[in-house]
Structure 1
Amino acid sequence: MRLKLIVTFLLITVLGFAQTKGTITGTLTDKDLNNESLPFANVILKGTTIGVTTDEAGKYTISAEAGVYTIQFSFLGYETIEEKVEVKAGETVTINKALGSGSYQLKDVVIQNTVSREKETALLAEQKKAVEIKQSIGAQEMSRKGVSDVAGAVTKTTGITKQEGTGNIFVRGLGDRYNATTINGLPVPSNNPEKKNINLDIFSTDIVESVGIDKVYGSKLYGDFAGGNVDVVSKDYKGKGFVKIDIGSKANTNALGLDDFSLQKGQNMSGFSTTSQPNNPLEAYNFETLKLENKTPYAGSLGISAGSSYSIGNDGKLSLFGTANYSNEFNAITDGSAKGSVNGLGVANKDFREFRQNSFATNTTIMGNAAYKINSNNKINFNTIFINTSNQSKEEYEGFIVDIANDGNGLLRRFFYERNQLMINQLLGEHKFGEKYTANWGVSYNKVESDQPDRVQNTFREEAAGFILSNISRPDNHRYFQNITEDEIAAKASVDYKFNKNSEGDYLGKITAGYNLRVKNRELLANQFNFRVNNGFETTVVDPNNLDLFYNPQNFANGAFEITTFRGNSQVPNATKPQSYDGELLINAGYINAEYKFKKLTTVLGFRTEQISQDVNWDTQLGDVGKDKLEKTAFLPSVIMKYELNDKQNLRLGLSKTYTLPQFKERALFLYEEVLQVKIGNPDLYESDNYNLDLKWEFFPKSDEVLSVTAFGKYIQNPINEITIASSTNDVSFVNTGDTGYATGAELEIRKNIFSQENGAKISSGLNISYLYTSQDLDAEKIQKETNYNVAFTETKSAFTGASDLLVNADVTYFKEWNDKNTSLTSTLAFTYFSDRINAIGTNGNGNLVDKAVGTLDWINRFKINKNLGLSLIARNLLDPKIERTQENSNGDVKMLSYKKGMTFSLNINYQF
């Protein structure tokens, strides 16, 4: 009886207390994003400590004592809205608001726990809400994981790895040809003649707000797609004015460990120097010096960024952001060995017991962004980006060279310098016409110039008296000049129409119609000057570290050596006319999307058609002037479906058809010589067709947590591969290797908070794992029938080149803040692993060329000392594994390449005014 009285008393007390409170609830939306939900905005009762942040759907709920309050809505960089509200006991008041950035004034904003849209939680919220199957990594996550460029950023997402020593990525085991790159939704050209995509490592994270990876095709994307589309979203600043300065230093343990770190003399530290082809190069010696110059291998960086926003009239707002950064780095490869031209018995024509490399790279990035919001219905955005990168290296190979150094007494040295300049200009606009219509458009003009202005290669044999220059083949000693320019114009335009508005004010349907244009032109000019020692001077002893003592005007005049091109010597007309090829790509595309939400199921039906024309013309050492044309009309249907199992779980399905185009370089009859292999184009190469399937389940336990599982499959008709063709020099070319190929796999992603404390300490972790199985037919008869090349495949089936069975990315982060959140520490351990993957398919009795499994570990520490001053200490490649490439062989695997990169440590300081 007493227990009943106590329970009754407690219930009456609780109910009586509850009746003194009321509830305020509602949803916040974003005026600047078509009234989509605004997660993580602040909602507080002014003058009190009562406040919350909106959830992933923009919803909020506040409980307060009965009374009259001023409720305040705010979000970093957006206007603050206040409204009087009366709270009555036991009742609920609903207040929905839309925030925009038009009348934002910093002094009016009360900021508590605001979250930028560059942060992980905001991107997870967008991922949860979006219909498309997409992953994103924002500036916050890139900073936490110590990422300095876009190539490194995307490898921290599920199913993506980077090719060693490059900025090229593999998405689900599919390499460069199967992927695409855009900036703010518009395509960008490549800075590498070997590749379709621009090297992502040239994009510093200083200019990036987020990077989105579409692994599932939708009709808004260009149809040249099978692996994924990487979209770099540039910074669009909103908020008060600021100026930030960054200063950093960096050192590589291998470079520091060398007694002398030397490179070819002549190139300066800025990365802007270049060398011109000399005048009258066949009749006089006017080439640059071949001397070595010692460097002190301590690298550094300097950057400045600034932004501000200005109100214009009642509704207008102009936001400006700019950044300029310069960085350099020294690296060295040690403990290296290399082999080339290995036959089916495992015997190598080039067997270098020692391989070493010194390199110096620079990156200069300048970006400007101007965003003008005319009013709540109209805004335009202008982006301009200039990037200058350079890479200078000295490579040395010591050992056996067939017919040149049969006693293992050979030395091959290559000086390499490359400078790339990229200019991107974009103008984007968005216009709303009432509630139902929205128009989006964009135009861009991009230009790339890539120079290899004097690549030098010399081959020596060491004898008792000293080193002598090889005289076996003219190209043994050469200087190579190459210039590539590529211009690209792109445009996009689309109109959205919403229909069928429900009782809650949401439109259930949307139709989008759009158009894309892409015009790309590339021109390559290349000339190689071969230096052959003349009779009577073959045994002249030379100093490899000072070849100017032999290669000089006096010795040339005395007939010690001659200079020729592939066309001949100075007696041949037009001997100095360069090799060349040019290409033009024209794509006209139209598409239509129909999206509709049936309660929990949202479906997008898309159809895209593209008219494609690719012309290639060449004049090279491999034959007369030639040309080839590839034309295709593509019909590309797609279906994307999202089913909301509940408010925290989604089930997604994607189906599509796409294609894969060969690149200009792959179809031009042009030859490019590397130290260990020679590549040649194939005019008979043609496109592949791809059929794609994705199924994904995702669960969002909290705003910053996710668990997802994805299954996918790809069926490819006429896949393109890089293989060794039957030739006297084992040249590498590009062919449609068979009728079919397929890839299947599964992906797992987990982001989880391990624990958090009220004192501001938190430990979180992330893990993504991908398993992949690929297979393709290898058909030598098909190649012989369709091309002028012959191939003898070692096997009849193979996995895809670049495909690893297992990919793993894992990280754990400790975060602690104190001093009213003005001081914080973020410390992250990040681990990446990929299993063995095929570099090239085996032919002529040789097995596949395989890049062996590698695991890397980085440690990233960022310390915010106060609200203005920050410090970071980053240690990369702590495990320093050996990078190895092997040739599978019946007599046992042959180690083709092996080296270590060393560890790199960097220290950076930044100050924000």
Structure 2
Amino acid sequence: MKLHLLLFALLFTCGVYSQNGTLKGKVTDLESNLAPLAFATISIEGTTIGTSSDGNGNYKMEVPSGKHTVLFSYLGYETQSIVVTIVKGETKSLNQSLSSNSTELEGVVVQATSKKVKETALLLDQHRSLEIKQNIGSQELSRKGISDVAAAVAKTTGVVKQEGSGAIFVRGLGDRYNSTSMNGLPIPSNDPERKNISLDLFSTDIVEYISIDKTYSSRIFGDFAGGHVDIISKDHSGEGFFNFSIGSEVNSNAVRQDKFLLLSDRNYMGFSKNDTPKDPLNNYQFDNSLNLKNRTPIGSNFGFNTGKSFNIGQQGQLNLFATASFSNKYKYKEGIVKSVQAQGDATKDFETKDYEYTTNTTGMFNAQYSINPSNKIAYNLLYINGSSESNEEYRGYMRDLADGPEGGFLRRGNYIQNNLLINQLLGEHQFNEQFKLNWGGSYNTIKSDMPDRIQNTFRIKDNQYFFTTNSVTDNHRYYQNLNEDETAAKISLDYKFGKNEDLLYRGKITVGYNSRFKNLDFKASQFNYRLGNSLRNVAVDPYNLDAVLNKTGFDNGDFQFETFLGDKNLNIALTPQTYQGKQSINGGFAALEYQVSPKLSAVVGLRLEQITQEIEWKTQLDLEGDKNTFDKTAFLPNLSLKYALNDRNNLRLAASKTYTLPQFKERGLFMYEKATGSIKGNPDLYPSDDYNLDLKWEFFPENDEIISLTAFGKYIQNPINEITITSSSDDISFANTGDSGYAAGIELELRKNLFSFDDLNTNKISAGFNAAYMKTRQELDSEKVRKENAFGADFTHKNASFTGAADLVMNADISYIKEWNKRSVMATVSYAYISDRIYSLGSQQLGNSVDKGFGTLDFIFKTKLSDNLGLGLNVKNLIDPKIERVQENLTQDILVQSYKLGKSFSLSLNYQF
């Protein structure tokens, strides 16, 4: 019986096969001079029959005889359908070109599709690019449950997000070596201590995809060595829509607290009054309470997206897109913090509690006007308001302040509000098939306020709290304001040449210019408490300081305020500390792209930049004030080679020269007071020069799969580092710490479909893995520091790794995705690991401070229940590891910091009308 069934099945299969014909052809890109379009989808409407084009755009498949509708589709292009008749036993050729422009052809059904949001589209872009690049799109962001750009970038190979901030390290190189832009135009920093804006300010709601360049090309400003992050904002075309989402989030550490103590007078939405008092030395003018307020630590978020397109005239189309969102989060961590000497003796030994509340309000509007298929203009407006509020409590031993058996108590209340406004105007003009003009301009402003930072210090005796001071700054109120505006412009002209027998151009020349002009104004005022004996010797309640530090006490003379310039008896006492900065960069560039042979392509680029940086200051370190200017002319060549081993394998080489600028904060002679130490700028700082080399092999088994291996190296002349200078107070500053340093490593990336349960609909299990192993080394020359600067250094070691550089960085994820009838289920488990890395360099026999390695595990689940309704569940940091820092002294390693972040649980709902 089994034999009969087998014979019947074989005969039936042969009978069916005999009724088939063959359909083959080539899919090309109409907008790229009929270049082959790899990995396009060709399917028979109403059936499960389908295939994908290969690396040369060719396809072939068996189709039953008869009349069929053939669908040609690719993400970012218009789907086209053509009716064909298949004759059994015969082969029919059908070539098709796809275009992203809206057209109407007789007998062709045109349907708009989404743009570069899917992983397949971005992998194809990576495959075809002549330069080494890596992208992460909104589809992958959703699959991995990523809510901000900082977390998104950290999922790419060799990139690390610094815990507790939006700063990133690329291939072991930190903030100073990286750059950030949006739609190809630079954006300013929100923090005077950083070069780049905190990427966690950017919600992924505004992102179509993120491009990460780890190799240099001449279109990018030359201040680059680690990576360049370009955020490509969403736009819209097609039918109108409106999507609304709402959600909630809790942190396991935060919800377990009986009381979640935060500042009393800060706005829940992150919009607060930030004015500095006009004359607090003569009148008590502080409105904010010193007492704390109990909050319910349950976060929330809500937002909407909407878009609509309008036809204008015969060829024009106006596309509008808008999004707005608000989110807040509560975090809590407790642990230990120590400051220890070379012999292991502690100067500070604290148990800590840190309550934190953050908000993010984002709004974006995008208008894109396609005048005709050859001319397009777009305007982007982005507004972000981010706030961070924290109550930090340190309890324990403080040498010279609270060194009794019961120790002391230090509390710092901090609030930061960042307000960013980005305006961009962009244009593309295709004059003919050979000439194309691209241009853009932007005006951006950032306002960063730190209003009324509060610090109070106490000694404890017999379970009672008494104010204590070793320096008048131990009890203070601090105000800081940063205003920065920047204009930027870019323009480039492409010229294609060398048309071959296939009507494709072999070469392209690009010439262009871009510039950025930055103005910065920084002010800071600190009002230190000069406490009278009536307060110093009386027990107080540290959680009810309004009872003693109030207007009545000020009027009675129990305390008074003074600044770094003195008290109310000096006319200049209220003069704030200031520095102003101006920076201009003008760059001209040229690049030649050429297909040397069918397999070998090259890009040769050259950039010439003129940089001027001016800074002027008047601070407590220089009461008279001074200014400093440096100019640099940078000659920056770069080369990229691509050799196509076959349709799915590429071998790439990239080499370039770049530079690294010191930042305003690092050169301004200003003292930043922190709870654990002080940082001051150094006007003698100067730029580094960087030399970069990459060799990469990449293999694309399928249209959504990749295997790649990269070897890279970087040589840096005169690297800049944050160091502890030789002084009685162990102040921190910045210096060119040696003649050279280098970074070298390898990167591996894998994306693979493990199981596919349906040939046409998505129903699969896929996995991703990327890892980077690297070594960095730099010379540390104490004599060089003494010769070139107004201070000295005494490094414990003669060489060290770069600060922030981890030997091993790894990301892994596995996902199940099923889509059917406009429904879907997606579940992802992702793991990330970062190994040990240096936090700060040791000096004066102190060892390096090293952040120990740890891993995190996340789970993400999303489902679309209907055409309109979707649900999501995220669980972050499931294993909740300890975050630890040790000081590797010559005699022993000492644990100086330890805490846990807690698990995060979030639930979301979205509805599309």
* TM-score normalized with structure 1 length: 0.94
Match for residue 375 of structure 2? Answer: 378
Q: Any residues of structure 2 matched to 1:321-400 within 5 Å, and which? A: 321-334=321-334, 336-340=335-339, 342-352=340-350, 354-400=351-397
- Residue in structure 1 matched with residue 307 of structure 2 by the alignment: 307
Match of 1:806 among 793, 808, 813: 808
Q: Flag the 1:617–1:35 CA change in 2: closer, same or farther, 3 A.
A: farther
Amino acid at match of 1:463: K
Instruction: Report the counterpart of residue 239 of structure 1 in structure 2.
Output: 238
Partner of 2:176: 177
Q: In the aligned structure 2, how far is the partner of 1:513 from the partner of 1:343?
A: 56
8 Å CA contact 1:725–1:732 kept in 2: the answer is yes
Query: How far does residue 906 in structure 1 lie from its aligned partner after superposition?
Result: 0.2
Name the counterpart of 1:732.
Answer: 732
Pairs within 5 Å for 1:480-879: 480-597=478-595, 598-623=597-622, 624-758=624-758, 761-818=763-820, 820=821, 822-879=822-879
* CA distance in 2 between partners of 1:900 and 1:890 (Å): 28
Whether contact under 8 Å (1:238, 1:309) holds in the other structure is yes
For structure 2, the residue ranges without an aligned partner over 5 or more in a row are: 1-9
How much has 1:614 moved relative to structure 2? 0.5
CA–CA separation in structure 2 for the residues paired with 1:373 and 1:754: 42
In structure 1, the residue corresponding to 2:217 is in which secondary structure? Answer: coil
SS in 2 for 1:542: coil
In the alignment, is the contact (CA less than 8 A) between 2:135 and 2:211 conserved in 1? yes
Corresponding residue of 1:5: none
CA deviation string 1:289-310 (max 9, x = no partner): 1111110001100101101222
Alignment of 1:183-194 (within 5 A): 183-194=182-193
What SS does the aligned partner of 1:26 have? strand
Task: Give, as a single letter, the amino acid of the residue that structure 1 aligns with 2:649.
Answer: Q
Match of 1:207 in 2: 206
**Mapped contact 1:74–1:109 kept (Cα < 8 A):** no
Q: Give yes or no for contact 1:282–1:563 (8 Å, CA) kept in 2.
A: yes
Give the C-alpha shift of residue 380 in structure 1: 1.2
Distance 1:887 1:678 in 2: 19
| Contact in 2 for aligned 1:495/1:512 (Cα 8 Å) | yes
1:104, 1:875 → 2: CA distance? 47
Deviation of residue 755 (structure 1)? 1.1
Contact in 2 for aligned 1:103/1:315 (Cα 8 Å): no
Contact 1:256 1:297 in 2 (8 A): yes
CA–CA separation in structure 2 for the residues paired with 1:300 and 1:748: 37
Q: 1:374 to 1:560 in 2, by over 3 A?
A: same
Alignment partners' CA distance in 2, 1:18 and 1:720: 73
CA gap of 1:177–1:457, structure 2 versus 1, over 3 A, is: same
Structure 2 partner of 1:4: none
CA contact (8 A) 2:848 2:887 kept: yes
Structure 2 vs 1, CA of residues 755 and 69 (structure 1 numbering), >3 Å: closer, same or farther?
closer
Identify which range, 378-387 or 89-98, moves more after superposition: 89-98
Q: 1:823-869 CA deviation, whole Å, 9 max, x = no partner?
A: 22211111111111001111011010111111111111111111211
Indicate whether 1:133 and 2:128 are aligned. Answer: no
Question: Which SS does the other structure have where 2:533 is aligned?
Answer: coil
- Number of equivalenced pairs: 895
Q: Is the 8 A contact 2:40 2:73 kept in 1?
A: yes
**Structure 1 range deviating more: 717-726 or 63-72:** 63-72
* 1:7 equivalent in structure 2: none
How far off is 1:279 after superposition? 3.0
Give 1:473's aligned residue. 471
Shift of 1:43: 4.4
The answer for the alignment partner of 2:5 in structure 1 is: none
Other structure's SS at 2:403 match: strand
Matched with 1:903 is 903
Q: Deviations over 1:198-232 (max 9, x none)?
A: 00001000000111110011111110000000111
Amino acid at match of 1:765: A
Query: Aligned partners of 2:46, 2:462: CA distance in 1, in Å?
Result: 90
| Alignment-mate amino acid for residue 464 of structure 1 | D
SS in 2 for 1:527: strand
- What is the one-letter code of the residue matched to 1:428? L
Question: How far 1:786 moved relative to its partner?
Answer: 0.5
- 2:162 and 2:168 in contact (8 A); partners too: yes
Select between 84-93 and 607-616 the one with higher mean Cα deviation.
84-93
* Identity, % of aligned positions: 51
Distance 1:713 1:54, change over 3 A: same
- Report which stretch shifted further, 53-62 or 837-846: 53-62
Q: Is this contact kept in 2: 1:816–1:826, CA < 8 A?
A: yes
Output the CA distance in 2 between the equivalents of 1:34 and 1:902. Answer: 54
- Check 1:148–1:20 CA distance in 2 against 1; reply closer, same or farther (3 A cut): closer
- RMSD, aligned α-carbons: 2.4
8 Å CA contact 2:77–2:99 kept in 1: the answer is yes
CA deviations 1:254-302 (Å, max 9, x no partner) are: 1111110011100121101123222320011121211111100011001
Among candidates 432, 435, 445, match of residue 434 of structure 1 = 432
| Equivalent residue, structure 2, for 1:254 | 253
Residues 608 and 116 of structure 1, relative CA distance in 2, 3 Å threshold:
closer
Which residue in the other structure is 2:4 paired with?
none
TM normalised by structure 2 equals 0.94
Greater mean alpha carbon deviation, residues 641-650 or residues 265-274 = 265-274
Superposition pairs of residues 67-146 of structure 1, within 5 angstroms: 73-74=72-73, 79=78, 81=80, 90-103=90-103, 117-146=116-145
Supply the AA of the counterpart residue of 1:131.
L
CA distance in 2, matches of 1:787, 1:18: 85
Q: Tell me how far apart the structure 1 counterparts of residues 615 and 630 of structure 2 sit (CA, whole Å).
A: 9
* Gap change, CA 1:102 and 1:372, over 3 Å in 2: farther
Q: For residue 95 of structure 2, what is the amino acid of its counterpart?
A: I
SS in 2 for 1:666: helix
Amino acid at match of 1:309: S
Q: Find the aligned partners of 2:670 and 2:383 in 1 and give their Cα distance.
A: 30
Partner in structure 2 of residue 3 of structure 1: none
Aligned ranges 1:145-156 → 2 under 5 Å: 145-156=144-155
Cα distance, 1:728 vs structure 2: 1.8
Question: Aligned AA for 1:556?
Answer: F
The 1:530/1:19 distance shift into structure 2, 3 A limit, reads same
Query: Structure 1 stretch 490-499 or stretch 406-415: which is displaced more?
Result: 406-415
SS, match of residue 142 in structure 2: helix
Is the CA contact (8 Å cut-off) linking 1:849 and 1:885 kept in structure 2? yes
Q: Cα distance, 1:665 vs. partner?
A: 0.2
Aligned residue for 2:399?
402
With over 3 angstroms needed to count, the CA separation of the structure-2 counterparts of 1:451 and 1:58, relative to structure 1, is farther
SS in 1 for 2:733: strand
Inter-CA distance 755–110: structure 2 relative to 1 (3 Å threshold): farther
Q: 1:650 to 1:848 in 2, by over 3 A?
A: same
User: What is the CA distance between 1:102 and its match in structure 2?
Assistant: 2.8
2:367 maps to a residue whose letter is A
Q: What is the CA–CA distance in structure 1 between the aligned matches of 2:330 and 2:261, rounded to whole Å?
A: 11
Residue 422 of structure 1, CA deviation: 0.6
Q: Deviations over 1:716-748 (max 9, x none)?
A: 000000110011211111100000101110011
> Structure 1 residues 48-57 or 721-730, which shifts more?
48-57
Cα contact 1:725–1:731 (8 A) shared by 2: yes
The 2-side partners of 1:120 and 1:574 are apart by 60
Describe the SS at the equivalent of 1:537: helix
The answer on whether the counterparts of 1:39 and 1:122 sit within 8 Å (CA) in structure 2 is no
* CA deviation map 1:645-672 (0-9, x unaligned): 0001000000000000000000000111
Unaligned runs of 5+ in 1: 1-9
CA distance in 1, matches of 2:487, 2:699: 41
Change (3 A) 1:34 1:837: farther
One-letter amino acid of the counterpart of residue 669, structure 1 = L
Deviates more, 1:396-405 or 1:94-103: 94-103
